[in-house]
Chain A
C-alpha cells in the first residue's frame, strides 16, 4: 500500500513538474500566494510549482531539471506523511463535536504537519544550494509558495471518466 501511495505521489509530481515546470509562460507568473494568500485563482493561473520556478527565475536548462528531481525525491519520502494527514482529516470529521476524541487527532495532525514542513525545508535547502545570490534573496517568498506542495491534488471533477456536462445533476 505504501509503495503504491508513493508511486501515486511521484507520478503526480513528475507529471506536474514536466508539464508545469516552465518559467512564466506569459500567464502572470510570480504571484505571491502560498499559505492562504493565493485563493480565488482562476484555472489559468500558474500552479504552485510554476510560481516557484517563476519567483526564483530558475534557469530552464540547468537549474530546473535539478529542482524537479529534488521535488520528486522528497515527494516520494513525504508520501506517507501526506497519507497520514488525509487519514487524520477524515478522522477529525468523524469525531467532530467530541472534544476528548478530537484533541489527540489534532495533536497527531500537528506532529505530522511538522514532519511535512521538515520535508519542505529539506527540499528547499537542496534547491537553495543551486541558487545564485540574486535568487537566494527571494528565498522567503519562494518558500511561502511551496506550502503543501507535497500533498496530493484535490479532485476537480466528480468522475475521472466523465466529460462535458454542467455542474449540476
Chain B
C-alpha cells in the first residue's frame, strides 16, 4: 500500500516537473509548445517514445530491437481501433454541435467503448514490452512510466513520435 502510494507520488511528481519545465521553457521561447524543439533554447530535449523507453528502461540493443518489433506489430494490429475511435469521436462531435442529448448519450457510450478497447490494446502492448525486460528493468516505477508513455501510442499515425498528444 505504502509502496503503491510512493510510486504514484513519484510518477506524479515527475509529470509535474516535466510539464512545468517544458511549459516554462516554451514561455521563454515566446509561446512555443511545451517541450518542443528538441532542446532548442535551453529547454529539455524531447525524445520519441522509443528513445524514452530505451533510456528509462536501459534497453540494450537486442531489447530495443524487440521493443520496436513488438510496438510495430501492435500498432499495425490497432488499425481498426484507430479508425473506430476517430469515427466515434467525430460522431460525438456532430451530436454536440446538433445539441441532441439523446444522440450525445448514445455517441458517448460508443466512444467510451472504443476508448476502452484502445486502452486495452495499449495495455497489451506494454505487457508484451515488459515481457522482454529483465527483472531489474521492470521495477514498478519504470513500468508506470511506460504506461504513461504509451497512452495514445496506438491512436495516432505513428507510435514512435514525441509523446504529448493525448488523443482520447
Contact = CB atoms under 8 A, between A and B. Distances in A.
A37 B12 CA distance: 28
Nearest to A90: B147
A74 interface: no
| Majority SS at the chain B contact face | helix
A167 B67 CA distance: 15
B58 interface: yes
B92 interface: yes
A155 B146 CA distance: 9
A133 interface: no
Nearest to B155: A36
Contacts of B31: 19-20, 22, 25
Contacts of B38: 43
A106 B116 contact: yes
Interface of B: 5, 8-9, 12, 14-24, 26-27, 31-39, 44-48, 50-52, 54-56, 58, 64, 82-83, 85-86, 88-90, 92-94, 96-97, 104, 108-109, 111-113, 115-116, 119-120, 122-124, 126-128, 130, 143-145, 147-149, 151-152, 155-158, 161-168
A130 interface: no
A139 B46 contact: no
A50 B14 CA distance: 24
Interface string A88-115: 1110111011000010001001100110
Given A5-B12, A143-B96, A39 B122 contact: no
Given A153-B19, A156-B47, A43 B35 contact: yes
Contacts of A38: 156-157, 165, 167
A20 B58 CA distance: 33
B124 to A, nearest CB: 6
A70 interface: no
Contacts of A148: 152, 166-168
29 contacts: A4-B12, A11-B16, A12-B15, A12-B23, A15-B34, A16-B23, A19-B23, A34-B86, A35-B88, A41-B161, A89-B119, A92-B119, A97-B127, A106-B116, A110-B112, A121-B96, A140-B96, A147-B89, A147-B168, A148-B168, A152-B19, A152-B148, A155-B52, A155-B163, A157-B45, A157-B47, A158-B55, A160-B21, A167-B48
Interface of A: 1, 4-5, 8, 11-12, 15-16, 18-20, 22, 25, 33-48, 50, 83, 85-90, 92-94, 96-97, 102, 106, 109-110, 113-114, 117-118, 121, 124, 136-137, 139-144, 147-149, 151-165, 167-169
A160 B167 contact: no
A154 B167 contact: no
B165 A48 contact: yes
Contacts of A34: 86, 89, 167
